[in-house]
Amino acid sequence: MSQYEGEPSPKDFVEVRLPAAGAYLSVLRTATAGLAARLDFTLDEIEDLRIAVDEACAILLQQAVPNAMLRCVFQLDDDALLVTVSAPTTDGRAPERDTFAWTVLSALAGQVESTVSDDRTVTISLHKERGAGPGQT
């Protein structure tokens, strides 16, 4: 299997695709906890990331296309975890940054960004460094 330019090596990332429905979010919470533990995150940091991933997914599920797939990519670094969740949406609207949900994301995950692609897929990226305090990258 060939490597695409700019793509992380297979050992550096995990990708999960599942139906964009709340019933499946426990899979992502478990994956988040396992991967963060692998990077020696503290129990508090692991729980913060679990909640942040859950909140990011909840934001996306509100506007996801019916029967769509939710894609979650975990990129592992020596002391950081980048979690990117995305889903095709009905209106292609970026999440509002002045909401309680966005405040929670920023407080728990450190650096938070969102993008919208031409096909109306909304992506939320969470970047958390091990040892960073709440809201820090």
Contact 79/73 with Cβ under 8 angstroms?
Answer: no
Task: Output the domain CATH number for residue 99.
Answer: 3.30.565.10
105 found inside a domain: yes
5 found inside a domain: no
User: What does the alpha-carbon distance between residue 109 and residue 47 come to, in Å, rounded to a whole number?
Assistant: 10
pLDDT (tens digit per residue) in 15-60: 999 999 999 999 999 999 999 999 999 999 999 999 999 999 999 9
135 found inside a domain: no
If DSSP codes are grouped into helix, strand and coil, which group holds residue 77? Answer: coil
Token pair recorded at residue 106: 């920023």
The H or E element containing residue 28 is: helix 25-38
4 found inside a domain: no
Strands annotated E in 1-137:
13-19, 69-76, 80-88, 111-116, 121-129
Q: Which range of residues forms the domain containing residue 42?
A: 12-129
Check residue 132 and give its pLDDT: 65
71 found inside a domain: yes
Mean pLDDT on 95-104: 90
Token pair recorded at residue 105: 């994301």
If DSSP codes are grouped into helix, strand and coil, which group holds residue 64? Answer: strand
pLDDT (tens digit per residue) in 66-92: 999 999 999 998 889 999 999 999 999
107 found inside a domain: yes
- Total domains in the chain come to 1
